[in-house]
Amino acid sequence: MKFSSLRFYERGAPGRRDIEAFAFFDNGYGAFVAQGPNFPYSDPRDDTYEIYVLEALVPHPTGRKGDSELTFDTPVADEVLGNLTRDDVERVLGEIAALPPRSVTFGPLEREATFSISMYDSDLIESNAREDYGRRRRSTVFNREEVLEAGLATIDGDITEAGWDELRDDEATLEKNSLAWLRRKFKNVRDEGRGRARDARDLVGTFSFDAHDLEEAELVQLGIDERIDMIDGSYGDLNSTVWTGVGEFGANILGGQINFEVEPDVRAEIEETLDRSPSRAGQRRGWRSVWR
Protein backbone atom coordinates (compact mmCIF):
# COMPACT_ATOMS: atom_id res chain seq x y z
CA MET A 1 0.00 0.00 0.00
CA LYS A 2 1.37 3.40 -0.96
CA PHE A 3 1.69 6.18 1.58
CA SER A 4 -0.21 8.45 -0.80
CA SER A 5 -3.23 6.12 -0.50
CA LEU A 6 -3.66 6.94 3.19
CA ARG A 7 -6.49 9.35 3.89
CA PHE A 8 -5.46 11.55 6.82
CA TYR A 9 -7.82 13.64 8.86
CA GLU A 10 -7.14 16.24 11.57
CA ARG A 11 -8.11 15.79 15.17
CA GLY A 12 -7.51 17.74 18.38
CA ALA A 13 -7.64 21.25 19.75
CA PRO A 14 -6.19 24.20 17.83
CA GLY A 15 -2.47 24.35 18.36
CA ARG A 16 -2.29 20.64 19.20
CA ARG A 17 -3.79 19.04 16.12
CA ASP A 18 -2.78 15.57 15.01
CA ILE A 19 -3.21 13.91 11.64
CA GLU A 20 -4.51 10.33 11.70
CA ALA A 21 -5.34 7.65 9.15
CA PHE A 22 -6.65 4.08 9.16
CA ALA A 23 -5.80 1.31 6.73
CA PHE A 24 -7.44 -2.15 6.71
CA PHE A 25 -6.62 -5.29 4.77
CA ASP A 26 -8.46 -8.43 3.67
CA ASN A 27 -6.58 -10.54 6.23
CA GLY A 28 -8.47 -8.99 9.16
CA TYR A 29 -5.64 -6.68 10.24
CA GLY A 30 -5.13 -2.97 9.87
CA ALA A 31 -3.02 -0.02 10.90
CA PHE A 32 -3.50 3.31 12.62
CA VAL A 33 -0.99 5.90 11.36
CA ALA A 34 -0.55 9.17 13.24
CA GLN A 35 1.61 12.25 13.54
CA GLY A 36 1.33 15.19 15.90
CA PRO A 37 1.89 16.54 19.41
CA ASN A 38 -0.20 13.78 21.04
CA PHE A 39 1.94 11.07 19.47
CA PRO A 40 5.46 11.48 20.93
CA TYR A 41 7.18 9.07 18.53
CA SER A 42 6.36 11.20 15.53
CA ASP A 43 7.56 14.62 14.46
CA PRO A 44 6.04 16.91 11.81
CA ARG A 45 9.37 18.71 11.50
CA ASP A 46 11.09 15.67 10.00
CA ASP A 47 7.86 14.11 8.71
CA THR A 48 7.94 10.94 10.82
CA TYR A 49 4.98 8.86 11.98
CA GLU A 50 3.74 6.29 14.49
CA ILE A 51 1.95 3.06 13.54
CA TYR A 52 -0.26 0.84 15.68
CA VAL A 53 -1.24 -2.61 14.43
CA LEU A 54 -5.00 -3.24 14.59
CA GLU A 55 -7.28 -6.25 14.59
CA ALA A 56 -10.63 -5.74 12.88
CA LEU A 57 -13.73 -6.29 15.04
CA VAL A 58 -16.18 -6.25 12.15
CA PRO A 59 -15.93 -7.80 8.68
CA HIS A 60 -15.57 -4.48 6.84
CA PRO A 61 -13.97 -1.87 9.13
CA THR A 62 -13.74 1.74 8.02
CA GLY A 63 -11.98 3.37 10.97
CA ARG A 64 -15.19 4.26 12.79
CA LYS A 65 -14.96 3.94 16.56
CA GLY A 66 -15.48 0.33 17.63
CA ASP A 67 -14.42 -1.14 14.27
CA SER A 68 -11.03 -2.35 15.51
CA GLU A 69 -8.74 -2.73 18.51
CA LEU A 70 -5.00 -2.56 19.12
CA THR A 71 -2.96 -5.75 19.04
CA PHE A 72 0.59 -6.36 20.27
CA ASP A 73 0.66 -10.02 19.32
CA THR A 74 1.88 -10.13 15.72
CA PRO A 75 5.30 -10.72 14.13
CA VAL A 76 5.16 -7.15 12.83
CA ALA A 77 5.38 -5.46 16.23
CA ASP A 78 4.80 -6.04 19.92
CA GLU A 79 4.46 -2.33 20.70
CA VAL A 80 4.04 0.98 18.93
CA LEU A 81 6.26 1.55 15.92
CA GLY A 82 7.61 5.08 15.96
CA ASN A 83 9.87 7.55 14.18
CA LEU A 84 8.90 6.11 10.80
CA THR A 85 9.59 7.80 7.48
CA ARG A 86 7.05 7.55 4.69
CA ASP A 87 9.05 4.67 3.18
CA ASP A 88 9.05 2.94 6.57
CA VAL A 89 5.28 3.39 6.79
CA GLU A 90 4.81 1.75 3.39
CA ARG A 91 7.05 -1.17 4.39
CA VAL A 92 5.18 -1.76 7.68
CA LEU A 93 1.81 -1.57 5.93
CA GLY A 94 3.06 -4.24 3.52
CA GLU A 95 4.13 -6.46 6.43
CA ILE A 96 0.71 -6.08 8.09
CA ALA A 97 -1.07 -6.87 4.83
CA ALA A 98 1.04 -10.03 4.48
CA LEU A 99 0.09 -11.46 7.89
CA PRO A 100 -1.83 -14.77 7.84
CA PRO A 101 -5.60 -14.16 7.64
CA ARG A 102 -7.55 -14.10 10.87
CA SER A 103 -11.24 -14.76 11.35
CA VAL A 104 -13.24 -11.71 12.37
CA THR A 105 -15.89 -13.07 14.69
CA PHE A 106 -16.42 -10.17 17.09
CA GLY A 107 -19.93 -8.82 17.15
CA PRO A 108 -22.04 -6.51 19.26
CA LEU A 109 -21.92 -7.06 23.02
CA GLU A 110 -25.37 -6.03 24.24
CA ARG A 111 -25.54 -4.96 27.86
CA GLU A 112 -28.15 -3.25 30.03
CA ALA A 113 -27.83 -0.01 31.97
CA THR A 114 -30.19 2.07 34.09
CA PHE A 115 -30.83 5.77 33.66
CA SER A 116 -32.25 8.53 35.82
CA ILE A 117 -33.49 11.86 34.45
CA SER A 118 -33.35 14.54 37.13
CA MET A 119 -34.46 18.16 37.13
CA TYR A 120 -33.26 21.12 39.14
CA ASP A 121 -34.85 21.12 42.59
CA SER A 122 -37.38 23.79 43.53
CA ASP A 123 -34.89 25.79 45.63
CA LEU A 124 -32.52 26.17 42.68
CA ILE A 125 -35.36 27.02 40.29
CA GLU A 126 -36.65 29.71 42.67
CA SER A 127 -33.12 31.10 43.08
CA ASN A 128 -32.72 31.25 39.30
CA ALA A 129 -36.05 33.05 38.97
CA ARG A 130 -35.09 35.69 41.53
CA GLU A 131 -31.73 36.23 39.83
CA ASP A 132 -33.35 36.59 36.39
CA TYR A 133 -36.64 38.32 37.16
CA GLY A 134 -36.42 39.92 40.64
CA ARG A 135 -35.68 43.50 41.62
CA ARG A 136 -32.09 42.57 42.49
CA ARG A 137 -31.57 40.39 39.46
CA ARG A 138 -27.96 39.58 38.52
CA SER A 139 -28.62 38.76 34.88
CA THR A 140 -30.41 40.44 32.01
CA VAL A 141 -33.27 38.56 30.36
CA PHE A 142 -35.22 40.04 27.48
CA ASN A 143 -38.59 38.60 28.49
CA ARG A 144 -38.86 39.97 32.05
CA GLU A 145 -41.77 42.29 31.28
CA GLU A 146 -43.64 39.53 29.44
CA VAL A 147 -43.17 37.14 32.37
CA LEU A 148 -44.42 39.70 34.86
CA GLU A 149 -47.40 40.64 32.68
CA ALA A 150 -48.29 36.97 32.23
CA GLY A 151 -48.29 36.55 36.00
CA LEU A 152 -45.63 33.85 35.99
CA ALA A 153 -43.46 35.65 38.56
CA THR A 154 -43.77 38.60 40.89
CA ILE A 155 -41.70 41.76 40.65
CA ASP A 156 -39.38 40.24 43.27
CA GLY A 157 -38.88 37.17 41.11
CA ASP A 158 -41.03 34.83 43.17
CA ILE A 159 -42.70 32.18 41.01
CA THR A 160 -46.47 32.31 41.09
CA GLU A 161 -48.88 29.38 40.97
CA ALA A 162 -49.40 30.04 37.26
CA GLY A 163 -45.63 30.10 36.83
CA TRP A 164 -45.25 26.74 38.54
CA ASP A 165 -47.98 25.26 36.34
CA GLU A 166 -46.07 26.33 33.23
CA LEU A 167 -42.77 25.08 34.63
CA ARG A 168 -44.24 21.66 35.42
CA ASP A 169 -45.42 21.41 31.82
CA ASP A 170 -41.93 22.41 30.67
CA GLU A 171 -40.33 19.78 32.93
CA ALA A 172 -42.60 17.15 31.36
CA THR A 173 -41.40 18.31 27.94
CA LEU A 174 -37.76 18.09 29.06
CA GLU A 175 -38.33 14.53 30.26
CA LYS A 176 -40.04 13.59 27.00
CA ASN A 177 -37.20 15.09 24.96
CA SER A 178 -34.62 13.36 27.17
CA LEU A 179 -36.29 10.01 26.51
CA ALA A 180 -36.29 10.77 22.79
CA TRP A 181 -32.55 11.52 22.97
CA LEU A 182 -31.93 8.23 24.78
CA ARG A 183 -33.86 6.34 22.11
CA ARG A 184 -31.75 7.93 19.39
CA LYS A 185 -28.53 6.91 21.13
CA PHE A 186 -29.42 3.46 22.49
CA LYS A 187 -31.80 0.51 22.09
CA ASN A 188 -34.68 -0.86 24.15
CA VAL A 189 -35.18 2.30 26.22
CA ARG A 190 -37.85 1.62 28.84
CA ASP A 191 -39.43 4.30 31.02
CA GLU A 192 -40.13 2.71 34.42
CA GLY A 193 -41.62 5.75 36.15
CA ARG A 194 -40.50 7.18 39.47
CA GLY A 195 -41.14 4.27 41.84
CA ARG A 196 -37.55 3.21 42.57
CA ALA A 197 -35.75 6.51 42.09
CA ARG A 198 -33.51 7.67 44.92
CA ASP A 199 -35.15 11.04 44.42
CA ALA A 200 -38.89 10.55 43.90
CA ARG A 201 -38.82 13.34 41.29
CA ASP A 202 -36.36 11.45 39.06
CA LEU A 203 -37.66 9.54 36.06
CA VAL A 204 -35.86 6.19 35.84
CA GLY A 205 -35.62 3.31 33.41
CA THR A 206 -33.33 0.96 31.53
CA PHE A 207 -31.73 0.74 28.09
CA SER A 208 -29.45 -1.55 26.10
CA PHE A 209 -26.12 -0.58 24.58
CA ASP A 210 -23.26 -2.23 22.70
CA ALA A 211 -20.31 -2.46 25.10
CA HIS A 212 -18.03 -3.18 22.11
CA ASP A 213 -18.95 0.09 20.41
CA LEU A 214 -16.50 2.80 21.44
CA GLU A 215 -18.94 5.70 20.92
CA GLU A 216 -21.63 4.05 23.04
CA ALA A 217 -19.10 2.99 25.69
CA GLU A 218 -17.74 6.54 25.95
CA LEU A 219 -21.23 7.99 26.28
CA VAL A 220 -22.26 5.50 28.96
CA GLN A 221 -19.02 6.13 30.85
CA LEU A 222 -19.69 9.89 30.74
CA GLY A 223 -23.14 9.32 32.23
CA ILE A 224 -21.65 7.16 34.98
CA ASP A 225 -18.65 9.28 35.94
CA GLU A 226 -20.13 12.71 35.26
CA ARG A 227 -23.53 13.38 33.67
CA ILE A 228 -25.30 14.06 30.41
CA ASP A 229 -26.18 17.71 30.92
CA MET A 230 -29.23 19.57 29.60
CA ILE A 231 -27.34 22.88 29.47
CA ASP A 232 -23.60 22.24 29.23
CA GLY A 233 -22.71 20.87 25.79
CA SER A 234 -19.35 19.59 27.00
CA TYR A 235 -21.26 16.75 28.68
CA GLY A 236 -22.89 15.15 25.64
CA ASP A 237 -25.16 16.70 23.01
CA LEU A 238 -28.45 16.44 24.92
CA ASN A 239 -28.62 20.25 25.14
CA SER A 240 -29.01 20.54 21.36
CA THR A 241 -32.52 19.01 21.32
CA VAL A 242 -33.86 18.79 24.86
CA TRP A 243 -35.22 22.38 24.93
CA THR A 244 -37.52 21.96 21.92
CA GLY A 245 -41.03 23.00 22.94
CA VAL A 246 -39.97 24.55 26.27
CA GLY A 247 -41.15 28.11 26.95
CA GLU A 248 -38.68 30.95 27.33
CA PHE A 249 -39.48 31.34 31.04
CA GLY A 250 -38.64 27.67 31.67
CA ALA A 251 -35.61 27.73 29.39
CA ASN A 252 -34.10 30.52 31.51
CA ILE A 253 -34.46 28.88 34.92
CA LEU A 254 -34.87 25.11 34.50
CA GLY A 255 -32.16 22.52 34.00
CA GLY A 256 -31.26 18.93 34.66
CA GLN A 257 -29.21 15.92 33.68
CA ILE A 258 -29.20 12.21 32.88
CA ASN A 259 -27.09 9.73 34.84
CA PHE A 260 -26.33 6.07 34.12
CA GLU A 261 -25.52 3.04 36.24
CA VAL A 262 -24.23 -0.42 35.23
CA GLU A 263 -23.17 -3.58 37.03
CA PRO A 264 -19.45 -3.83 37.96
CA ASP A 265 -18.74 -6.52 35.35
CA VAL A 266 -20.31 -4.34 32.64
CA ARG A 267 -18.18 -1.41 33.82
CA ALA A 268 -15.12 -3.61 33.32
CA GLU A 269 -16.23 -4.41 29.75
CA ILE A 270 -16.66 -0.69 29.05
CA GLU A 271 -13.12 -0.07 30.32
CA GLU A 272 -11.78 -2.78 28.00
CA THR A 273 -13.50 -1.14 25.05
CA LEU A 274 -12.18 2.31 25.97
CA ASP A 275 -8.67 0.89 26.18
CA ARG A 276 -8.82 0.27 22.42
CA SER A 277 -8.36 3.98 21.83
CA PRO A 278 -4.74 4.39 20.61
CA SER A 279 -4.10 7.53 22.66
CA ARG A 280 -5.47 6.01 25.86
CA ALA A 281 -3.67 2.71 25.36
CA GLY A 282 -0.41 4.54 24.71
CA GLN A 283 -0.68 6.37 28.01
CA ARG A 284 -1.55 3.17 29.85
CA ARG A 285 1.34 1.10 28.46
CA GLY A 286 3.95 3.85 28.50
CA TRP A 287 5.03 2.93 24.97
CA ARG A 288 8.53 3.53 23.73
CA SER A 289 9.79 3.50 20.17
CA VAL A 290 11.29 0.36 18.70
CA TRP A 291 12.68 2.34 15.77
CA ARG A 292 15.96 4.21 16.25
Segment 29-37 mean pLDDT? 95
Nearest to 35 by CA among 110, 97, 85: 85
Segment 146-152 mean pLDDT? 94
106 phi/psi in degrees, rounded to 5: -65, 140
Q: Is 86 helix (H, G, I), strand (E, B) or coil?
A: helix
pLDDT digits (tens, 9 = 90+) for 150-184: 999 999 999 999 999 999 999 999 999 999 999 99
Is residue 29 a contact partner of residue 53, using CB atoms and an 8 Å limit? yes
pLDDT digits (tens, 9 = 90+) for 90-122: 999 999 999 999 876 556 778 999 999 999 999
Average confidence score pLDDT of the chain: 88
Query: According to the model, what pLDDT value does residue 286 have?
Result: 40
Is residue 184 a contact partner of residue 240, using CB atoms and an 8 Å limit? no
Query: According to the model, what pLDDT value does residue 290 have?
Result: 34
pLDDT digits (tens, 9 = 90+) for 180-221: 999 999 999 999 998 554 567 899 999 999 988 889 999 999
CA atoms within 13 A on the CB side of 289: 13
Nearest to 48 by CA among 100, 12, 3, 86: 86
Helix (H) / strand (E) element for 181: namely: helix 161-185
Is the pLDDT at 285 greater than 50? The verdict is no
Tell me the helices (H) and strands (E) count for the chain, helix number first. 8, 11
Is the pLDDT at 19 greater than 90? The verdict is yes
Q: How far apart are CA 162 and CA 164, in angstroms?
A: 5
Query: According to the model, what pLDDT value does residue 196 have?
Result: 56
Residue type, 191: D
Cβ neighbours, 10 Å, residue 215: 14
Better-scored residue on pLDDT, 137 or 198 = 137
Query: According to the model, what pLDDT value does residue 289 have?
Result: 34
Binned at pLDDT 50, 70 and 90, residue 279 comes out as: low
pLDDT digits (tens, 9 = 90+) for 223-266: 999 999 999 999 999 999 999 999 999 999 999 999 999 999 88
